[in-house]
Structure 1
Amino acid sequence: MDTPPYARIAGDIKRRIADGRLRPGDRVPSTRQLARDWDVALATAAKALALLAQEGVVVAEPRVGTVVAELRGPGRSTARRGSGQAAREPGGARERVVRAAVELADADGLDELTMRALADRLGMATMSLYRHVSGKDELVLLMVDAVLDDHPLPGERPAGWREALETSARLQWAAYRAHPWMAGVTSLYRPLPSAALLKHSEWVMSALAGTRLDATAKMNVHILLYSFVQGLAANFEQERRARAATGLSDEEWMSAQEERMRAVSESPGYAAFAAFLGELGEFDLDLDRLFEFGLRPLLDGLARQIDQPG
């Protein structure tokens, strides 16, 4: 008789514990993760974890998740490893995992980055990745930190707030430019708890500490600067996705829309826009130039808020 799927999942986790790939205190993949990796229903994955818990192989820890239980009897572990400890250990295998994930996201976008695809790239079993990261959310956080650390803030902050904010904006732009997927990782409503991103927050707040702005205004300045950089950079990834979906470059797509655009602009109610198009002629959208075009006026506007008395 065929082994039920839940039993196969449980057996696989036991084998990984037996050969040392999962050790006492290591976090076991969640129900949702198991369901994705094994292509089974959530109920099936939950049944596998329930079976392991009944057998004393795993235990549930509040605010942590399900982890491998400590050994009992002879050979009992003398020190429990905290959940996610392997993911916090510096360098080595974890760094290799994170760098491979960045390469995949750079090539194909973040949506195509799955634990299975990453494992295939590294030549390892999917479940082995969970010795280094607890799941994709933690992986993405580590990826962002790694990317921003490649574009570090200077050791010494410029004396003026304007130079400091410009430095932060340019370094973030360089990171987004090199890794377009990063612009879609976080939002203003749900900021990513990235240590590297928080370094920029610390940098900006330190630069604004001696100004006349109150705390709310300082936060608004910080958000506005971040949004300017992220908002422009998001177009790199949007264009990559559009090209992948349509097979057309932006120039080819615009050419295909030219007739319809002309028909709309020449219809009643669009006289000013039609005249503008006649004046414009050829226009080459270059986001790097647009970034330069917008950064100085943005800082000029902030200067009126920061340096001039209200």
Structure 2
Amino acid sequence: MPTTAEPPYLRIVREIRRRIADGELQPGDRVPSTRQLASEWNVAIATATRALTTLSQQGVVRAQPRVGTVVAAPEPAPARPRRRVDQTPPRSAAGLPSPGPRSEPELTRDRVVRAALDIADAEGLEALSMRGVAARLGVATMSPYRYVHSKEDLVLLMADTAYGERGYPEPHPTGWRERLELGARTLWALHRQHPWLAQLSPLTRPLPLPNLMVHGEWVLAALDGLGLDPATMLDLNVLVYSFVQGLAVHLERETQARAATGITEEEWIERQGPAIDALAESGGHPTYARVLESFTRTGYDLDLDRLFETGLRALLDGFTVLVGDRAE
């Protein structure tokens, strides 16, 4: 009798496990993204997602935000408890045998949103699909639609959940600059944790999300009472948000580039070395060449966190000039 063909996702699972067993992939190494697996095996993104989900459920891989899916470190086997000969199965207070292991929790909207957050955090928003969410949850393809109407609705729920992960202390800082610094750093931390947030919508199409409004309210309250007209207050609020978004957008773009190419930013820079050197040696960019030469020994690290702090200081210095003595 003909045998049933092995499902494609299981073939992928078996191959990834082989690479790990043979040492081709070590603990902490990034495994191919869903997009790479789909291309390599000529399967749908959902099939690749199911393969990674299966490996995750087996404890073979784990999602690491802003990196992707990596090989999990093997966990030590738990010590087996010694059992006395006269030991009987545990019983409840009512004298009945205790129930066995609990089944998986039922599907809820929160579980759907959290699964989607895991996918977007690890592999970027482009890797997100309703089919992929269902595969990660191990449910039928249409099941998530009982809780969210579409991918667009799901993304809005994800964003509102992400923006709600951080709030502000009471009592709050008294100075307007200190409050703006805290607001900007809070937004930056959220975009650091969820790089896809910067990709959602342009400034001209603000999202009416309750938890995003919390951050806007914080900034506006810091500016209130400084004698600024309402339009200027809103403009400064938008500038704070756009400053964070403008830097954070590169976090997601790097995630997308790494997923598409399979190379890190360091590897990409190394490959561009000859072209960069040629530009410096052309004689047409003397200032660039001089600056680049100063980093011959130490190199230059494009640190987005450092850029954020430098830019925030410059931005608020500009605000200080605008506000003048109104805060006194």
Both proteins in one fold, TM over 0.5: yes
Which of the residues 163, 178, 194 maps onto 1:179?
Answer: 194
Alignment of 1:78-157 (within 5 A): 93-157=108-172
- SS state of the match for residue 307, structure 1? helix
What are structure 1's unaligned runs of at least 5 residues?
1-90
Instruction: Write the letter of the residue equivalent to 2:315.
Output: L
1:292 corresponding residue in structure 2 = 309
Q: CA deviation at 1:308?
A: 3.8
1:250 corresponding residue in structure 2 = 265
Instruction: Write the letter of the residue equivalent to 2:307.
Output: L
Structure 2 length normalisation: TM-score?
Answer: 0.63
Separation of aligned partners in 1, 2:291 and 2:304? 21
Separation of aligned partners in 1, 2:201 and 2:187? 14
Separation of aligned partners in 1, 2:107 and 2:224? 39
Separation of aligned partners in 1, 2:267 and 2:209? 38
Instruction: Write the letter of the residue equivalent to 1:232.
Output: L
Separation of aligned partners in 1, 2:316 and 2:261? 38
Which of the residues 187, 197, 201 maps onto 2:216?
Answer: 201
Instruction: Write the letter of the residue equivalent to 1:194.
Output: L
2:251 corresponding residue in structure 1 = 236
1:38 corresponding residue in structure 2 = none
The two structures, once aligned, show a CA RMSD in angstroms of 1.8
Separation of aligned partners in 2, 1:195 and 1:247? 37
> Structure 1 runs of 4+ off > 6 angstroms?
none
1:212 corresponding residue in structure 2 = 227
Instruction: Write the letter of the residue equivalent to 2:321.
Output: R
The verdict on how the C-alpha distance between 1:167 and 1:92 changes in structure 2, with shifts beyond 3 A counting, is: farther
- SS state of the match for residue 294, structure 2? helix
2:204 corresponding residue in structure 1 = 189
- SS state of the match for residue 190, structure 1? coil
1:55 corresponding residue in structure 2 = none
Separation of aligned partners in 1, 2:111 and 2:309? 35
Q: CA deviation at 1:269?
A: 2.0
2:43 corresponding residue in structure 1 = none
Instruction: Write the letter of the residue equivalent to 1:102.
Output: L
Instruction: Write the letter of the residue equivalent to 1:288.
Output: D
Asked whether the equivalents of residues 212 and 307 of structure 1 are also in contact (C-alpha less than 8 Å), the reply is no
Asked whether the equivalents of residues 124 and 196 of structure 2 are also in contact (C-alpha less than 8 Å), the reply is yes
Q: CA deviation at 1:95?
A: 0.9
Which of the residues 286, 293, 298 maps onto 1:271?
Answer: 286
Alignment of 1:28-39 (within 5 A): none
Which of the residues 240, 246, 253 maps onto 1:225?
Answer: 240
1:16 corresponding residue in structure 2 = none
What are structure 2's unaligned runs of at least 5 residues?
1-105
1:41 corresponding residue in structure 2 = none
Deviations 1:108-153 (A, max 9, x none): 2111111111111112223222221121111111111111211122
Separation of aligned partners in 2, 1:307 and 1:195? 32
Q: CA deviation at 1:92?
A: 7.6
Asked whether the equivalents of residues 164 and 212 of structure 2 are also in contact (C-alpha less than 8 Å), the reply is no
Deviations 1:280-303 (A, max 9, x none): 331111111221222122111111
- More helix per residue: 1
Separation of aligned partners in 2, 1:193 and 1:115? 23
The verdict on how the C-alpha distance between 1:118 and 1:92 changes in structure 2, with shifts beyond 3 A counting, is: closer
Residue-pair matches, total: 219
Separation of aligned partners in 2, 1:135 and 1:101? 12
Asked whether the equivalents of residues 211 and 307 of structure 1 are also in contact (C-alpha less than 8 Å), the reply is no
Instruction: Write the letter of the residue equivalent to 2:181.
Output: E
Deviations 1:131-179 (A, max 9, x none): 2112111111111111121112224432222121111111111111111
Separation of aligned partners in 2, 1:155 and 1:115? 39
Instruction: Write the letter of the residue equivalent to 1:101.
Output: A
Separation of aligned partners in 2, 1:244 and 1:233? 17
Separation of aligned partners in 1, 2:263 and 2:107? 40
- SS state of the match for residue 158, structure 2? helix
